[in-house]
Homo-oligomer: A and B are copies of this chain.
Amino acid sequence: MIRSFHPPRRILLGPGPSDIHPRVLAALSRSTIGHLDPAFIGMMDELKVLLQRAFRTQNPLTLPVSAPGSAGMEACFANLVEPGDLVVVCENGVFGARMRENVERLGGRAVVVRDEWGEPVDLNKVEDALKAHPEAVALAFVHAETSTGARSDAAALCQLARRHGCLAIVDAVTSLGGIPLEVDAWGIDAVYAGSQKCLSCVPGLSPLSFSERAVARIRRRTTPVKSWFLDLNLVMGYWGTGTKRAYHHTAPVNALYALHEALVLLEEEGIENAWRRHALHHRALAAGLAALGLQFVVAEPHRLPQLNAVYIPPGVDDAAARAMLLADFGIEIGAGLGPFAGKVWRIGLMGHAARKENVLACLAALEAVLARFGVRAAGAGVAAALAAYTAAEGEKAEGHKGG
């Protein structure tokens, strides 16, 4: 006899899903209506506008794919790449490698620009690759590499793509809502994100936006999109403007309620304030982690505030330590992936999780767990974080005085 499932209470400080805002969970469980109901169509229109504002774009083709971020990634490549097309793919972590695999499965050719895990994408190498391959149709890169915590210079990479006549395809799964992302100002042509990272929404949707140049490329295709489910020609018929919507697939109605509410919350806060909040709590966490003796994987200028990758100290058992954090403190942090497995922890501060109480709880719990492996800090982590918060308050007050 299998019974109803009641999840334990967790503080989600891993690489996503992050903590969900209570208002988002409330929206999620509102009563389901039909996906062609006029009330639902009105909600979809609002959702498009909210996504355009979050992506900072006027792109008419802006919508949430009805599946997780990996499907958003696939939607970009499946629509923009035809067999034989060459794509320059930047690989500096798990998600760049996944982009390459997408290109290859679709019959495209991937020219890979490799950087060390933890490094941002190297602009010079990308420029060399684009010069060596003038036939490239797109440059693809990850803005915020969730596997390493490195931020790449998306604006400069998009400029390179434009200069070499390529579309810029950008993975913004972890960046949207957490750090500046300017789809129109930077000239991004295709971008996908995730609902479950800095938007504080449940996992399962992938916001996506295509520029007019990208749409023109879809329209010029000479081969059909391999995927029926992800063919944006068809998806647009449902998410298009006007009252006449063509049925494509049954929309995940309740998940879309949740995303709508998450984006309303983002507007209430103001997206620039959300970026500042992520930066503030990252500084406090980073100060605390340093005081605990933990070293960051990524050099300071390229660090993502929302994803803090640190080396596991010698003598500390990775799995045992994370299990203690989970069992004794209800805190989830992320394990390392690939070459970082067993060597790195990934501490997320994403969306609703990026709050002072979580930073302090995380540092206190980490100290307690590390102590069991002989790494002692005497409260230094929490103290350093509190000092960072106090300093930030001071700066703010100074700023107000000056202004």
Rounded to whole Å, the gap between the CB of A180 and the closest CB of chain B is 22
A204 and B68 alpha carbons, distance in the complex (Å): 11
Contact B71 A261 (CB under 8 A): no
Q: Which of A52-111 contact B (CB under 8 A)?
A: 66-71, 73-74, 78, 98, 101-102, 104-106
A33 x B12 contact (CB < 8 A): yes
Residues of B contacting A229 in the complex (Cβ-Cβ under 8 angstroms): 67-68, 70-71, 73-74
Contact A68 B17 (CB under 8 A): no
A250 lies within 8 A of B203 (CB): yes
Q: How large is the interface on A (under 10, 10 to 19, 20 to 34, 35 or more residues)?
A: 35 or more
Closest to A29 in B: B29
Q: Is A30 an interface residue (CB 8 A)?
A: yes
Asked whether A255 is an interface residue with its Cβ less than 8 Å from the other chain, the reply is yes
**Bound CA span A239–B396, Å:** 48
Residues of B within 8 A of A14 (CB): 34
Q: A203-B253, A247-B337 are in contact. Are A34 and B10 (CB under 8 A)?
A: yes
Question: A5 touching B247 by the CB < 8 A rule?
Answer: no
What is the CA–CA distance of A64 and B182 in the complex, to the nearest angstrom? Answer: 35
Q: Mark A174-186, 1 if CB is under 8 A from B, else 0.
A: 0000000000000
Query: A10-B34, A66-B68 are contacts. A16–B250 as well, Cβ < 8 Å?
Result: yes
Nearest B residue to A53, CB-CB: B2
Which chain B positions have C-beta within 8 A of A29?
Answer: 25-26, 28-29
How far is the CB of A245 from the nearest CB of chain B, in Å? 11
Contacts of A9 in B (CB 8 A): 31
Q: How far is the CB of A6 from chain B (nearest CB, A)?
A: 7
Evaluate contact between B69 and A66: CB separation under 8 angstroms: no
State whether the Cβ of A114 lies closer than 8 Å to any Cβ in chain B: no
Among B2, B46, B69, point to the contact of A46 (Cβ < 8 A): B2
Given A17-B34, A67-B68, 8 more contacts at CB 8 Å?
A: A2-B264, A4-B264, A5-B43, A7-B30, A7-B31, A17-B32, A226-B227, A247-B337
* A interface residues with partner B (beta carbon < 8 Å): 1-10, 12, 14, 16-17, 19-20, 23, 25-40, 43, 46, 49-50, 66-71, 73-74, 78, 98, 101-102, 104-106, 194, 196, 202-204, 224-229, 247-255, 257, 260-261, 264, 267, 326, 332, 335, 337
